[in-house]
Structure 1
Amino acid sequence: MEKYQTLFLDIDGTTLRSDHTIQPSTKEAIKQAQANGVEVFLATGRPIHEIQDIAKELNVHSFVGYNGALAIYEGFTVVDEPISPEVIDFYLQVAQENDDELVFYTSQLNLLTNDTKPYMKEFIDYFGLYNYKSYHKSFREEILGITIVNLRPEELHKYQLAGHDIYFSKINVAAIQNGYDVIRESVNKGEAVKKVLAHLNLPSETAIAFGDGMNDKDMLAFVGEGFAMGNADEELQPFANRQTTSVEDSGIYNGLKQLGITK
């Protein structure tokens, strides 16, 4: 068995630069990894249905999406963990009482509580969420992920629900102020990677991951080689055993070079 078998790549701030383009060195790094027999996954908080253009550009066919709630290996669903409807109802109530806005994600759609406020339009435009509609209760059992948009840090406590293992990860994108992904301690990128590797019968030591935000912490801590990008949230560093350069400075290529995968 080759030393490294899988590579898990966050998208925003890791694979994608701030202008939404992919550096040529990143494409080359992925190509060289694949040539060395490494299975590449895009591991993101984004909905999988919204990243197919990126996947096609990189020739990637396996995914961890919705911060670990859905994982697909070459068309086979390994993880599918919707959020409890109780949580959905509670979040809608809190958002309505406080004039907050939410984005819900299903396997096919993005569901918004509002699409007219300026900061919601900025969110939609930045992440390219064009396949969206207004939230309806008929979707409450299909929700795989939630983002709270334009919420100040001191207000996060409002969304804590007793009996549910939830934490909040600030979106590590300069263009989005005070956006938070809702993540479950038992359903996250790290847990999804663990289940993917179990499905492939591979030990964690054979896995590599790159990330820049706190939604990547569980993934970086679990794999054998976890890289924090040079532009990573400083609180992410303790969860990574390796560091690399920024997304703007060939971070993935330079990280894989440390392991002898890129030349």
Structure 2
Amino acid sequence: MSKYKVLFLDIDGTIIKSDDSIDKTTITAIQQAQKAGIEVFLATGRPLHEIRELADLLKVNSLIGYNGAFAIYQGKDLFREPMKKESVKQFIDIAKKNQHELVFYTKDQNIFTDLEADCVKEFIVKFHLHKNDTYLPTSDYEVLGMTLINVESEEIALYKMEDEIHLSQVNLEGMRHCYDVIRDKVNKGIAVQYILEHLGLSKESAIAFGDGLNDKEMLMSVGEGFAMGNGHPDLFQYVKHKTTTVNDSGIFNGLKILGIVE
């Protein structure tokens, strides 16, 4: 039985390769980790209603979605932390004023400011989003996460209206004009800490893999944090390990270092 008890895996750029496929070694690594008694969580910025097919493929029943705002353990809800409605309204107003697009995620839908915008269509295709609708100001949404689209790096400062919210660049080729909205008190790291406490596990018994800056808090909240070789350059300073890229068996090679796979 492994001394490690839980494994947290980002999806895009960590499990899913640049050509949208999953390497066979990644599936093997997850299977061997589960066989060793390790609980595997998918931990993503994506909405959970869009990753069910992937979770079923990998036979994973524990999930963190919306960059830490919603967690499920073995099929049962653990917690849900929606954004403040006034914050959501502020982001929508700033985006509209500056000709940016955004999507916010509810428990069941992806709500876009303009479904016909080219950058939005590209975003939907890249992330295989299906449950999409157009924002209606008269609707009362419970927003769990948000991504800004078509934003230049020099425009990030437009959205710094709260100290407890920051933007994290999406670390995928062709999508770097997109930024996840991250809450300092609601992120993947806070979710990991909550789960470890809930399960009565130590930080040292936990492993995590990620590639983006939205993974930073998660990788710092476990004993064995791995940045993928294709990770954002600013991520490496926060992790214990650097593994190979997602296209070169990064998860498998990282778990091999720990003696979990062979």
Could you say what secondary structure the match of 1:71 adopts?
Answer: strand
Residues 222-260 of structure 1: per-residue CA shift (max 9 Å, x gap): 100000001001100011101110000000000000000
Could you say what secondary structure the match of 1:148 adopts?
Answer: strand
Q: Which runs of 5+ in 1 are unaligned?
A: none
**For the Cα contact (< 8 Å) 1:83–1:141, is it kept in 2?**
no
Residues 49-96 of structure 1: per-residue CA shift (max 9 Å, x gap): 101111111100000100000011012222210000010111111111
Match of 2:173 in 1: 174
Match of 2:216 in 1: 217
Please say if 1:243 is aligned against 2:239.
no
Q: TM-score, normalised by structure 2?
A: 0.97
Please say if 1:230 is aligned against 2:216.
no
Counterpart of 1:218, as a letter, is: E
Counterpart of 1:219, as a letter, is: M
**For the Cα contact (< 8 Å) 2:106–2:141, is it kept in 1?**
no
Cα distance, 1:3 vs structure 2: 1.2
Separation in structure 1 between the aligned mates of residue 126 and residue 99 of structure 2, nearest angstrom: 22
Could you say what secondary structure the match of 2:231 adopts?
Answer: coil
Structure 1 residues 73 and 138: CA distance shift in structure 2, 3 A = farther
Match of 2:122 in 1: 122
Match of 1:160 in 2: 160
Match of 1:253 in 2: 252
Please say if 1:28 is aligned against 2:28.
yes
Counterpart of 2:8, as a letter, is: F
**For the Cα contact (< 8 Å) 1:79–1:195, is it kept in 2?**
no
Cα distance, 1:138 vs structure 2: 5.6
Separation in structure 2 between the aligned mates of residue 169 and residue 11 of structure 1, nearest angstrom: 16
Could you say what secondary structure the match of 2:235 adopts?
Answer: helix
Cα distance, 1:140 vs structure 2: 4.4
Separation in structure 1 between the aligned mates of residue 10 and residue 131 of structure 2, nearest angstrom: 21
Residues 79-134 of structure 1: per-residue CA shift (max 9 Å, x gap): 21000001011111111111111100011100000111211110010001121001
Q: Following TM superposition, where does structure 1 have runs of at least 4 consecutive aligned residues deviating by more than 2 angstroms?
A: 136-141
Residues 126-171 of structure 1: per-residue CA shift (max 9 Å, x gap): 0011210011246545100010001001111111123x50111100
Match of 2:15 in 1: 15
Could you say what secondary structure the match of 2:40 adopts?
Answer: strand
Separation in structure 2 between the aligned mates of residue 177 and residue 257 of structure 1, nearest angstrom: 31
Q: TM-score, normalised by structure 1?
A: 0.97
Moved more, 68-77 or 218-227: 68-77
**For the Cα contact (< 8 Å) 1:112–1:134, is it kept in 2?**
yes
Counterpart of 1:168, as a letter, is: L
Cα distance, 1:2 vs structure 2: 4.1
Percent identity reads 49
Separation in structure 2 between the aligned mates of residue 38 and residue 52 of structure 1, nearest angstrom: 20
Counterpart of 1:22, as a letter, is: I
Over aligned residues, Cα RMSD in angstroms?
A: 1.2
Could you say what secondary structure the match of 1:186 adopts?
Answer: coil
Match of 1:88 in 2: 88
Counterpart of 2:209, as a letter, is: F
Counterpart of 2:246, as a letter, is: V
Separation in structure 1 between the aligned mates of residue 216 and residue 87 of structure 2, nearest angstrom: 23
Match of 2:104 in 1: 104
**For the Cα contact (< 8 Å) 2:209–2:225, is it kept in 1?**
yes
Could you say what secondary structure the match of 1:169 adopts?
Answer: strand
Could you say what secondary structure the match of 1:8 adopts?
Answer: strand
Counterpart of 1:151, as a letter, is: V
Match of 1:68 in 2: 68
Counterpart of 1:214, as a letter, is: L
Separation in structure 2 between the aligned mates of residue 150 and residue 79 of structure 1, nearest angstrom: 31
Could you say what secondary structure the match of 2:79 adopts?
Answer: strand
Aligned residue pair count: 262
**For the Cα contact (< 8 Å) 2:48–2:63, is it kept in 1?**
yes
